Amino acid sequence: MQHIPPLWLDPETHLARRTPDHPILYFSPRVLHHVAERFQAGFGGLVTYAVKANPHPAVLSNLVAAGINAFDVASPAEMEAVRTASAEAVMHYNNPMRSREEIDAGIKYDVASWSVDELSELEKLHAVPRSKEIAVRFALPVSGAAYDFGSKFGAAPLEAVELLKRVAAEGWTPALCFHPGTQCEDEAAWVEYIHAAKRIVDAAGVPIARLNVGGGFAANRDGEAPDLERVFSAINLATQEAFGAQRPQLICEPGRAMVSESFTLAARIKGMRKGGEVIFLNDGIYGGLVDIRDMGLPGRVEVVNADGQHRQGERRPRVVFGPTCDSLDRLPDGLPLPEDTRTGDYVLFPGLGAYSSAMSTQFNGYGLSDVATVIELSGQQPK
Ligand SMILES: Cc1ncc(COP(=O)(O)O)c(C=O)c1O
């Protein structure tokens, strides 16, 4: 008999009925479908999903159901997860550093597009069938993102010219790709990259079939939903201006912006010290809150008591520690929580679908392992 997991109305209902003593991620497939549709309607090209942001089987299968059939994968394990979700899904292997065994796995999984940013890595791809696409990844010193992606991967434009020539000469389908950096809040970064892509194409004398404009689309961190459509239209306009009649097909590979909003994380308060100035949660930076360490405190948090009621008191900043014995297990200081917050309450972190469960460890026996499916997330309707 098919197992149908229980579907809860919202996190508050689940918390009040079950009073769980471990951290939980609440997943709303409805919100995920809505975001996937927004990307597919607004982005003028192929929308793929960066599996690394959240490879949960329910995320992958819901994206397939929402019409996403191409995925950015970074490892054989991610390829396996995608293949399990869909026998037909197309894979783009855009981790430019691969072992020979990983390349063999990519060939076995029939990867359609491979990114490369160094000649030695291109040489490692010699067994990749010539019917496949190789996208040269380049990097520019642009700002706008939460942190610099160009310091690890991406050829300088002059190197990209040489790589693109080599890809074409070897007989693969040439393409270009870039990633402006995660949580990129300035569409000017994409515009600059797209014009640079055209200069690389011209200098190489190699037309490209496709231009992959990366992930990096911003998620809602402070309560104001980012205007994705403004970014889509800037990308569209810049591609038209730069390439005109030779416009390549566009690809995007959002991770964070695709999946963030469909999950809320609930962590329980284990104890409070110094008159409530210091709070200990049952999740922290070694668990589902790791992204907060790197991205800073989110602008949205709610506190719910064990009856599922929201605490309404005036907010004051707190020091928040995670559950492990490690003193680094601490959120950036100043999380504003209501005055009437008590031990046993739950802190709800909306928008924590990306880089949460995917990066959670089991350090000290803690970490994220439970996902509950809900219709709504804390009374929020998809915008
Ligand atoms: C190649 C590539 N594509 C897409 C992504 C997803 O980026 P984001 O989650 O910022 O959309 C990443 C993130 O590391 C990446 O490395």
For residue 177, the ligand 1 atom closest to its alpha carbon is: 1
Q: Could you tell me if 217 and 360 lie in one domain?
A: no
48 lines ligand 1 (CB under 6 A): no
Domain boundary among 218, 253, 288: 253
Atom of ligand 1 nearest to the CA of 216: 10
Over residues 98-122, the mean pLDDT reads 98
Do 64 and 125 fall into the same domain? yes
How far, in Å, is the centroid of ligand 1 from the Cα of 359?
A: 14
Residues 288 and 319 in one domain: yes
Is the domain of 233 the same as that of 317?
no
Q: For residue 274, which of 243, 336, 318, 216 has the smallest C-alpha distance?
A: 318
* Residue-range definition of the domain harbouring residue 53: 49-253
Residue 3 is predicted with a pLDDT of 55
Predicted confidence (pLDDT) per residue in 55-107, tens digit = 999 999 999 999 999 999 999 999 999 999 999 999 999 999 999 999 999 99
Last residue of some domain: 199, 224, 253?
Answer: 253
User: From ligand 1's centre to the CA of 179, what distance in Å?
Assistant: 7
Q: Ligand 1, residues 93, 179, 186, 259: which to mutate, most atoms within 8 A of Cβ? A: 179
Indicate which CATH number applies to the domain containing 247: 3.20.20.10
- Domain shared by 15 and 87, yes or no: no
Q: Is 360 in the pocket of ligand 1 (CB under 6 A)?
A: no
Spell out a b/e string for 328-342, using b for 16 or more CB atoms within 10 Å of the CB, else e.
ebebeeebebbeebe
In a domain, 2, yes or no: no
Of 35, 43, 46, 72, the one to substitute when testing ligand 1's pocket (max ligand atoms within 8 A of C-beta) is 72
Strands, DSSP E only, in the chain?
A: 7-8, 24-27, 46-47, 49-50, 70-73, 90-93, 113-116, 133-137, 173-177, 210-212, 249-252, 263-273, 278-281, 302-304, 315-321, 335-338, 346-350, 370-374
| Mean pLDDT of the residues in the chain | 95
285 secondary structure, DSSP code:
T
CA 81 to ligand 1 center in whole angstroms? 17
Judge whether residue 383 has pLDDT over 60. no
Residue whose CA is closest, atom 16 of ligand 1?
95
pLDDT at 1 over 60: no
pLDDT band at residue 143 using 50, 70 and 90 as cut-offs: confident
For the cut 80, the answer to whether the pLDDT of residue 320 exceeds it is yes
Residue pair 30/374 in contact (Cβ under 8 Å)? The answer is no
Do 232 and 308 lie in one domain? The reply is no
The closest residue, in CA terms, to atom 5 on ligand 1 is: 215
Query: Could you tell me if residue 97 is inside a domain?
Result: yes
| CATH code for the domain in which residue 339 is found | 2.40.37.10
- Give pLDDT, residue 4: 58
Residue 221 lies in a domain: yes
Asked if residue 379 has pLDDT above 70, the reply is no
Helix axes 29-42, 228-243, angle to 10 degrees: 30
- Kindly state whether residues 94 and 159 are assigned to the same domain: yes
pLDDT in tens, 20-59: 999 999 999 999 999 999 999 999 999 999 999 999 999 9
Say yes or no: CB of residue 256 within 6 Å of ligand 1.
yes
Q: Is 214 in the pocket of ligand 1 (CB under 6 A)?
A: yes
Domain assignment of residue 43, yes or no: no
pLDDT tens-digit readout, 154-195: 999 999 999 999 999 999 999 999 999 999 999 999 999 999
Count of domains observed in the chain: 2
Q: Angle at the Cα of 102 (from 67 to 100), degrees rounded to 5? A: 145
pLDDT at res. 365: 96
Residue 381, pLDDT above cutoff 50? no
CA distance 107 to 301: 44
